[in-house]
Structure 1
Amino acid sequence: MGYAAMKGSLMVLIGILAVALASAVAAAGTTGERVVPAVFVLGDSTLDVGNNNHLPGKGVPRANVPFYGIDFPGGPKATGRFSNGYNVADFIAKNLGFERSPVAYLVLKSRNYLIPSALTRGVSYASAGAGILDSTIEFVPCLIDL
């Protein structure tokens, strides 16, 4: 299969998943209870909830300074999120019946709590700097190899 065909198939799959997610979010917003048992987040800095703060290396983008959490509950403290408050995954998770998006994979792994949390709540694999370009893909293996 050629690159163009693969890219087209991927875009169709992403479109189907987006429609399914939008339907689930709309349904959950009306009932106020969990529609799904767990949420698994994949993405870049717009969804990162602290994975990058645990990645080794000097060139890894990090959100470990207080202004990133200035509007997050609990006051101005470093949250690991590349936003000043809630991110998109938090709003989607909230509409699916969760308090906010799941905890970062590397945080759960360091606490040996990965399996229980993944089953009951989900996990966030999002990593700032991750992308589909060769110049940004270098951060994703760091999450997978650990």
Structure 2
Amino acid sequence: MVVLGLALLLAALSTRVMLPAAQHLRSFRDGERAPATLHTRGSCFLGRCQVEFEADGRTVVADLPVGSGFGKQSVGHRMTIRYHADDPEVAVREEDVDGGGAAVAAVLSGGAALLFLPLSVGHLVYVLRQRRADAVPGPQH
């Protein structure tokens, strides 16, 4: 049952969290390009990084969304970002507009779910057959 629960959890992670995050990152493909500087360092994959850039003549500090694939860089690191002109409060590194780390995580967690699901079903079938064999009385002498 634990393996089945793990398979379902990984499948939910892939379909409910990582795939939408990857689609959100892809929505910036046609966004405005701008040079930016890493403003706040954190776990970018979890959406805890911020970048600073100029948009329409004003300085904007924008969040990098969940699923951003970003290594350990220090504050002040330069990069190119994309943002939607109507909402510059969220930006995406140009390297992430194809899905970033979220796409990789979706594939890995989905693949792991596909691995664990048949294992758990196979084990469940085995246990049910064992119970049935134990319940059927054998020939008595």
Q: TM-score, normalised by structure 1?
A: 0.25
Report the structure number with the largest CA radius of gyration.
2
Structure with more strand by fraction: 2
TM-score (norm 2): 0.26
